Structure 1
């Protein structure tokens, strides 16, 4: 008899646990909200995309060069 090579690949590693935990969290959230799992997953992706867009806009608004320009213009206007 030969030993099955699959038994060695079933060790606990962070790379293998993370997808399993995400799947478990999605299932638990879907069950608690009484929603289908795909809907919970796609809603999460949709929310992430909107949050990312807002962060990008805020990042552009608060960039150091833009703030420096606005401060310079504000000083010029107040000196008049």
Structure 2
């Protein structure tokens, strides 16, 4: 769990920075679903995850390293 997540007994609320593009969010969703599928029956142990959009700036070290498609303009 990252520092941008809060947790209850049954769910996790994860923050999504508003600079993430829809494509980048889709990649993260795809990876989450891939991991869930890989867990099979054990996936029922995972908590439900919801996302909240938060205003954050791109960290200085990532601005030039991230591909253009990953950033919302």
Rg comparison, structure with higher value: 1
Query: Larger strand proportion, structure 1 or 2?
Result: 2
Query: Larger helix proportion, structure 1 or 2?
Result: 1
Structure with greater contact order relative to length (CA < 8 Å, sep ≥ 6): 2
Task: Give the alignment's TM-score, normalised by structure 1.
Answer: 0.28
